[in-house]
Amino acid sequence: MRVVTWNLWWRFGPWADRQKAILAVLRELRPDAVGLQEVWAADDGDNLAEWLAGELGLHCAWSASEAPERWQRRIGDDTVGIGTAVLSRWPVVERAALRLPAPEEIDDGRLALYARLDAPGHPVPFFTAHLNSGGHASAVRREQAAALADFVAAHRHGTAFPPVVTGDFNARPESPEVRLLRAGGLHDAWQHADPAAPAATWDAANPYIPDPPVPGARIDHIHVGPPGPGGLGRVRAVRRAGDGPVDGVWPSDHAAVVADLVAHGREATAPGRPGW
């Protein structure tokens, strides 16, 4: 099972060209489940997540932010909403959204989204979240991570497949907010990466980042619960993707993270990737 998390940088920059680059990356990855943050949806009915799902032949679960105004002021357009989405190879049979807690002065409607994916044999409890940004917001993110942990605990039942928690946490792996998730029994998939592989998802090489940390930071994460019977859900490999230009266009200001998980304890059924 191939899992991807990716922050799509909403409607910033050359968004129409970026949209095509995003699709190209996902099409090459052939994911089974994708957690997306900063997804745009216009008043005219256009929705980036739904468009991607249609192009890729995937199912889509979407949740709109209830407080998009701060985002809209940044681009001067109040006709475009923002939200969080899950794309899935399998039908979404259950879903729920959680508005993450934040003080009023910085609350811009960030969400966690749960989708139960009707995969063969064992439904997958899949989550994606977008925590507040800014070095000053660590305490806020800790509250949001605690709320996310409770949200995961409330929806992980009824299946042997471990919960899969993805998202842009706007925090490094060693931060208190990310450590809080690990303390709750989730494991950082990146532990299975090649130690020599580039890890930064907020990368100094990306031209969309105005003042990036050098050499960069890993702030986008995939966490997985303890494996089920026969190693179900065990992380086999993890890496970055979308970390360079496509036909001259960088897809987003974030790189994606891609993890391959064991499904039914079986090895790959298609060249170069695992399957069910």
pLDDT of residue 69: 96
For residue 18, give the nearest of 251, 248, 253 by alpha carbon: 251
The enclosing domain of 46 has a CATH number of 3.60.10.10
Give me the number of domains the chain comprises.
1
pLDDT of residue 35: 98
pLDDT of residue 213: 77
201 belongs to a structural domain: yes
269 belongs to a structural domain: no
pLDDT of residue 271: 41
**How large is the angle between the packed helices 176-183 and 138-155, nearest 10 degrees?**
20
The pLDDT tens digits for 153-163 are 999 999 999 99
268 belongs to a structural domain: no
Flag whether pLDDT at 225 surpasses 50.
yes
pLDDT of residue 17: 98
pLDDT of residue 211: 83
Give 273's pLDDT tier (boundaries 50, 70, 90). Answer: very low
272 belongs to a structural domain: no
pLDDT of residue 270: 38
270 belongs to a structural domain: no
Which domain, by its residues, includes 23? 2-261
273 belongs to a structural domain: no
Q: What is the mean pLDDT of the chain?
A: 94
pLDDT mean over 104-121: 96
pLDDT of residue 135: 81
Per DSSP, helices labelled H in the chain are 15-29, 48-56, 69-75, 138-155, 176-183
Q: DSSP class of residue 272?
A: T
Entry pTM: 0.94
Q: Determine the Cα–Cα distance for residues 40 and 48; give it in Å rounded to an integer.
A: 6
Q: DSSP class of residue 114?
A: E
- Around Cβ 250, how many Cβ atoms within 10 Å? 24
Give 193's pLDDT tier (boundaries 50, 70, 90). Answer: very high
The pLDDT tens digits for 69-91 are 999 999 999 999 999 999 999 99
Give 267's pLDDT tier (boundaries 50, 70, 90). Answer: very low
For residue 126, give the nearest of 5, 275, 258 by alpha carbon: 5
271 belongs to a structural domain: no
Query: In the chain, pLDDT over 70 holds for what percent of residues?
Result: 96
Flag whether pLDDT at 32 surpasses 60.
yes
267 belongs to a structural domain: no
